Amino acid sequence: MTEFLTIQEASNWATEYLKKDVTTSNISYLIQYGRIKKHGQNGTTSVSKNDLINYYKSFNGQRENNWKEKLGDDLNWALSFDYLNERDTTKHVHRLHPYKGKFIPQLVQYFLDSHTDKFKKETYFKKGDIILDPFSGSGTTMIQSNELGMHAIGIDISAFNTLIANVKVGRVDFQDLHNELTRITNLLKEFIYKSNNTQFENELLEELNVFNKKYFPSPEFKIKARKKEIDEKSYTAEKENEFSATFSKLKDKYKLKIKQDKADNFLEKWYLQPVKNEIDFVFEQLKHVKNPITKKVLTIILSRTIRSCRATTHADLATLKEPVIQTYYCRKHGKICKPLFSMLSWWERYGKDTIKRLSEFNKIRTNTYQKCLQGDARNIDIFSALKEKNENFAELAENQKIKGIFSSPPYVGLIDYHEQHAYAYDLFGFERNDELEIGPLFKGQGIQARNSYIEGISQVLINSKRFLQDDYDIFLVSNDKYNMYPTIAEKSGMQIVNQYKRPVLNRTEKDKSAYAEIIFHLKSK
Task: Please state which CATH class domain 84-161+363-479 belongs to.
Answer: alpha beta
pLDDT at 117: 55
Express as a percent the part of the chain with pLDDT over 70.
94
Question: What mean pLDDT is predicted for residues 459-465?
Answer: 98
Phi, psi of 502 (to 5 degrees): -110, 125
Question: What mean pLDDT is predicted for residues 477-506?
Answer: 93
Cβ contacts of 383-389, under 8 Å, gap ≥ 24:
383/467, 386/153
For the chain, give the number of residues.
Answer: 525
Distance CA 340, CA 250 (A): 15
pLDDT at 471: 95
Confidence class of residue 115 from pLDDT cuts 50, 70 and 90? Answer: low
Express as a percent the part of the chain with pLDDT over 90.
68
Distances (CA, A) of 184 to 15, 117, 226, 289, 464: 43, 46, 45, 10, 43
Spatial CA neighbour of 375 closest among 161, 157, 142: 157
> What is the separation, in whole angstroms, between the first and last Cα of the chain?
67
Confidence class of residue 508 from pLDDT cuts 50, 70 and 90? Answer: very low
Residues 48-104 have pLDDT tens digits of 998 888 877 765 445 766 777 788 878 887 788 877 788 888 999 999 999 988 889
More confident residue, 55 or 433: 433
**CA dihedral over 335, 339, 343, 344, signed as positive or negative:** negative
- Which residues make up the CATH 3.40.50 domain(s) of the chain? 84-161+363-479
Is a pLDDT exceeding 70 seen at residue 253?
Answer: yes
Confidence class of residue 509 from pLDDT cuts 50, 70 and 90? Answer: very low
Q: Going along 368-493, which residue ranges are E strands?
A: 370-374, 402-407, 468-478
Distance CA 276, CA 343 (A): 9
Question: What mean pLDDT is predicted for residues 434-457?
Answer: 94
pLDDT at 129: 98
Confidence class of residue 318 from pLDDT cuts 50, 70 and 90? Answer: low
**β pairing state of 151-156 and 468-478:** unpaired
- How many C-beta atoms lie closer than 10 Å to residue 211's C-beta? 17
More confident residue, 516 or 186: 186
What is the SS3 assignment for 12? helix
Spatial CA neighbour of 459 closest among 433, 434, 493: 493
Question: What mean pLDDT is predicted for residues 305-327?
Answer: 86
| R_g of the chain, CA atoms, integer Å | 25
Cβ–Cβ < 8 Å for 521, 474? yes
Distance CA 165, CA 146 (A): 12
Highest mean pLDDT among 1-10, 315-324, 344-353: 344-353
- How many C-beta atoms lie closer than 10 Å to residue 233's C-beta? 10
Distance CA 493, CA 491 (A): 6
Question: What mean pLDDT is predicted for residues 458-474?
Answer: 97
Highest mean pLDDT among 67-76, 120-129, 223-232, 381-390: 381-390
Residues 20-57 have pLDDT tens digits of 777 787 788 778 767 788 887 666 889 899 888 887 77
Distance CA 156, CA 235 (A): 49
Distance CA 421, CA 162 (A): 12
Element (H, E) at 46: strand 46-48
pLDDT at 152: 98
Distance CA 179, CA 474 (A): 43
Cβ–Cβ < 8 Å for 472, 403? yes
Cβ–Cβ < 8 Å for 10, 27? yes
Cβ–Cβ < 8 Å for 287, 354? no
In sequence order, the 6+-apart residues with CB closer than 8 A to the CB of 138 are: 97, 99, 102, 161, 164, 165, 168
In sequence order, the 6+-apart residues with CB closer than 8 A to the CB of 465 are: 472, 492, 493, 524
Residues linked to residue 374 through DSSP beta bridges, in sequence order? 156
Using left for φ > 0, alpha for ψ between -120 and 50, and beta otherwise, residue 409 falls in beta
Q: Among the residues of 151-196, which ranges form H helices? A: 159-169, 174-193
Element (H, E) at 458: helix 447-465
Average pLDDT, the chain: 90
